[in-house]
Amino acid sequence: MTNLSYAQMLEASARFIRTNDDFIVVSHLNPDGDAISSTCAIGWLLSQLGKRYVLVNEDLIPNKFGYMPAAASILRAEDEAYRQALQGAIISVDCADFSRIGAPSQLFKQGVPFLNIDHHPTNDFFGTTQLIQPTAAATAQILYDLIQKFELTLDADCANALYTGLMTDTGGFRYSNTTPQVMQIAADLLVAGAKGAWLAEQLLETMTYSQMDLLKRALNQMAFRANHTIAWIVISLDDIAATNAANSDLEGLVNYARNVEGVEVGLLFKQIAENQYKISFRSSGKIDVAKVAKSLGGGGHHRASGATVQGTLAEILDRVFAAIEGESN
Ligand SMILES: [Mn+2]
């Protein structure tokens, strides 16, 4: 933990970037729009400052993010270029805890300077320098503030990246985290050249065939309990194989459960192994699903969280519903 104010953390982070020359930038596995755009935005900042850096992620970057030029340069942990860059200072973006970095972290050297930039309230302040702002809608919002510490002019590439993170983490500027400040930053990014309508079409409207196929299966077997206040969807390994769905094709699926009238918690159970499920929680606000997820070994935000749980589906359903009921009392 740190007692620094947000302004002091921004100052310390700017100093961290100025005083190091070589960087490794990482984000969480199964990266979403905010993770990828934040990685790209840090890359943009470091390139503007003439620093040496590599961007790396455990997973492949979905093609739909290819409009961010830096996305193509994001390495995998097994890439030689990554192994050669391992002396650098580390910057992690959008990771609530160290384990979320996944495979790239296994090669980190002990004792290197480590800047942890994130907006998850469950962030455990790993690293040597922290820039944590739980009231920020997205890590991209924090990066916008950080970039202001340098005398740089935003260009369209950086604006598109930051806008991507803001737009995706606010559900298209609809969630309660869409503050006046978020809209002011978004307006500034549009002025700087972000293609707002195109990004919304590309990231929020367009569906892949696999995504639609999977959605048909998901809706067919959506189930309810507790007077229709809880709705859930199970996606099995068979569903994923039959529809040839990528991780990114499951994005947003949980919202169909949450969006049903009267539902307080929507859940998605995604099978990842015979007896292992990744659970996504979405709350309409009454129930703090960050606490529910944390009680199951996961984490996240008040209205959106996740956990990975071992057991048979029947056992897991029992545990999860008990945890939700415990939180709603
Ligand atoms: Mn985020």
In which region does residue 69 sit, left (phi positive, over 0), alpha (psi from -120 to 50) or beta (all else)? alpha
The closest of 64, 6, 57 to 31, measured between CA atoms, is: 57
CA 284–ligand 1 middle distance (angstroms): 19
CA 30–ligand 1 middle distance (angstroms): 12
The whole-angstrom separation of Cα 75 and Cα 55 is 6
CA 22–ligand 1 middle distance (angstroms): 25
Q: How far apart are the first and last CA of the chain?
A: 30
The whole-angstrom separation of Cα 254 and Cα 256 is 5
Burial degree of 300 (CB within 10 A; 0-12, 13-18, 19+): buried
Lookup: tokens for 185:
């930053």
Q: Which residues contact 259 (CB under 8 A, 6 or more apart)?
A: 266
- pLDDT for 24 equals 97
Does residue 131 sit in helix, strand or coil?
strand
In which region does residue 306 sit, left (phi positive, over 0), alpha (psi from -120 to 50) or beta (all else)? beta
The whole-angstrom separation of Cα 156 and Cα 116 is 26
CA 164–ligand 1 middle distance (angstroms): 11
- pLDDT for 329 equals 72
CA 271–ligand 1 middle distance (angstroms): 23
Lookup: tokens for 62:
């979905």
The backbone torsions φ and ψ at residue 3, rounded to the nearest 5 degrees and listed phi first, read -100, 5
CA 227–ligand 1 middle distance (angstroms): 32
CA 162–ligand 1 middle distance (angstroms): 11
Starting at the edge strand found earlier in the chain, the sheet holding 74-75 runs 74-75, 52-56, 22-26, 89-93, 114-118, 129-132
Does residue 92 sit in helix, strand or coil?
strand
The whole-angstrom separation of Cα 166 and Cα 145 is 13
CA 191–ligand 1 middle distance (angstroms): 23
CA 42–ligand 1 middle distance (angstroms): 14
Neighbours of ion ligand 1 (CB under 5 A): 34, 94, 138-139, 169
The whole-angstrom separation of Cα 23 and Cα 86 is 8
The whole-angstrom separation of Cα 293 and Cα 178 is 23
- pLDDT for 122 equals 87
Element (H, E) at 82: helix 80-84
CA 118–ligand 1 middle distance (angstroms): 7
- pLDDT for 256 equals 97
Q: Which residues of the chain have pLDDT under 70?
A: 1
CA 216–ligand 1 middle distance (angstroms): 28
Look up residue 109 and give its amino acid: K
Contact predicate 111/43, CB 8 Å? no
Q: Name the pTM for this structure.
A: 0.84
The closest of 123, 114, 47 to 305, measured between CA atoms, is: 123
Burial degree of 3 (CB within 10 A; 0-12, 13-18, 19+): exposed
